[in-house]
């Protein structure tokens, strides 16, 4: 039996584990209360010999497709020892910037992939705000994923990364339908209720997007929790206005993780696997 299917040899036990894990509040929303999703993540973790929690924190559903983070793809390439080391060479600045990911193979040959800001602009990736805030980091991620997809396809098995799916969904966004004509509320109370509902719906969408993109961390967790309480339990426009102020402050905080920091500080040096 293949390693990917070995976990199903005792399906009842695996299914119980999936149900138990799906109750955890530490999981992303697309796994909470969804044991079937957790079961797929367990298979992914088992196949790649990684912790289930790490797998679920790095898997996302975007426009109906499952993707892993670019950082996870790079980590899996290292874990499966497909290369001896990888380094990044950055050149140019602004719209002339480009990054080359260079892997040294075990036979000392090299494989490389280059991604430029011109490619990003032409493909429409820069419509995603993160490309404008940390362009060099995004070029590194994309160059590494292109390198893996072209030379070490066994790492991804055809899966896209979260970053690729986000760029595709932004580029291929469908036009919004014509707005419906809504009759104006008859009185002040109805106007206030309508205003309250619009603000609350907007903030709930922003909360979900913020969490799904793994932007909640140890530095902003308390602020994010306070914002959630104000939105979910708030009864007045003022509560929602206070939540919006917190959201604005949260968006000013750059989100970094250990993989970002590791890649960012090793631009032109080899990183041992």
Question: Each residue of 164-211: pLDDT tens digit?
Answer: 787 776 544 444 454 555 555 557 777 777 888 888 888 777 777 766
- Give me 124's structure tokens: 């429409």
The per-residue pLDDT for 185 is 53
SS3 for the chain is CCHHHHHHHHHHHHHHHHHHHCCCCCCCCCCCCCHHHHHHHHHHHHHHCCCHHHHHHCEEEECCEEEECHHHHHHHHHHCCCCCEEEEEEECCHHHCEEEEEEECCCCCEEEEEEEHHHHHHHCHHHCHHHHHCHHHHHHHHHHHHHHHHHCCCCCCCCEEHHHHHHHHHHCCCCCCCCCCCCCCCCHHHHHHHHHHHHHHHHHHHHHHHHHCCCCCCCCHHHHHHHHHHHHHCCCHHHHHHHHHHHHHHHCCCCCCHHHHHHHCCCCCCEEC
Average pLDDT, the chain: 78
Average pLDDT over residues 7-13: 72
pLDDT at 58 over 80: yes
Give the tens place of pLDDT for each residue, 157-176.
888 887 778 777 654 444 44
Q: How confident is the model at residue 264 (pLDDT cuts 50, 70, 90)?
A: very low
- pLDDT tens digit string along 225-238? 787 778 777 788 88
Q: Determine what percent of the chain is predicted with pLDDT higher than 70.
A: 77
Q: Give the model confidence (pLDDT) of 84-102 as tens digits.
A: 999 999 999 999 999 999 9
User: pLDDT at position 106, please?
Assistant: 95
Decide if pLDDT at 253 tops 70.
Answer: no
* pLDDT exceeds 60 at position 103: yes
The pLDDT of residue 218 is 63
Name the pTM for this structure.
Answer: 0.56
pLDDT band at 151 (very low <50, low <70, confident <90, very high): very high
Res 190: pLDDT: 76
Whole-number pLDDT of residue 125 = 86
Please state the rounded mean pLDDT for residues 49-60: 86
Mean pLDDT of the 35-60 span: 87
At residue 110 the predicted structure's pLDDT band, cuts being 50, 70 and 90, is: very high
Residue 216's pLDDT is: 61
Residue 219 has what pLDDT?
A: 62
């Amino acid at each position: 039996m293949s390693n990917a299917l070995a976990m199903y040899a005792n399906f009842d036990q695996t299914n119980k584990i999936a149900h138990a894990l799906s109750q955890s509040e530490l999981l992303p929303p697309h796994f909470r209360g969804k044991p079937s999703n957790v079961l797929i993540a367990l298979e992914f973790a088992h196949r790649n010999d990684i912790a289930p929690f790490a797998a679920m924190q790095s898997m996302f559903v975007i426009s109906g497709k499952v993707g892993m983070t670019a950082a996870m793809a790079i980590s899996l390439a290292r874990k499966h020892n497909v290369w001896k080391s990888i380094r990044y060479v950055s050149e140019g600045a602004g719209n002339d910037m480009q990054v080359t990911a260079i892997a040294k193979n075990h036979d000392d040959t090299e494989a490389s992939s280059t991604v430029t800001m011109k490619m990003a602009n032409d493909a429409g990736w820069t419509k995603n705000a993160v490309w404008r805030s940390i362009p060099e980091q995004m070029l590194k991620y994309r160059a590494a994923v292109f390198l893996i997809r072209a030379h070490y396809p066994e790492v991804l098995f055809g899966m896209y990364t979260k970053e690729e799916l986000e760029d595709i969904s932004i580029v291929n966004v469908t036009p919004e339908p014509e707005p419906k004509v809504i009759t104006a509320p008859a009185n002040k109370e109805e106007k206030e209720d309508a205003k309250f509902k619009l603000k609350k719906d907007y903030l709930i969408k922003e909360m979900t997007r913020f969490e799904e993109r793994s932007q909640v961390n140890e530095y902003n967790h308390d602020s994010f929790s306070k914002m959630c309480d104000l939105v979910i339990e708030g009864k007045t426009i003022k509560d929602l206005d206070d939540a919006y102020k917190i959201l604005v402050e949260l968006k000013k905080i750059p989100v970094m993780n250990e993989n970002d920091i590791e890649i960012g500080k090793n631009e032109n040096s080899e990183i041992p696997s």
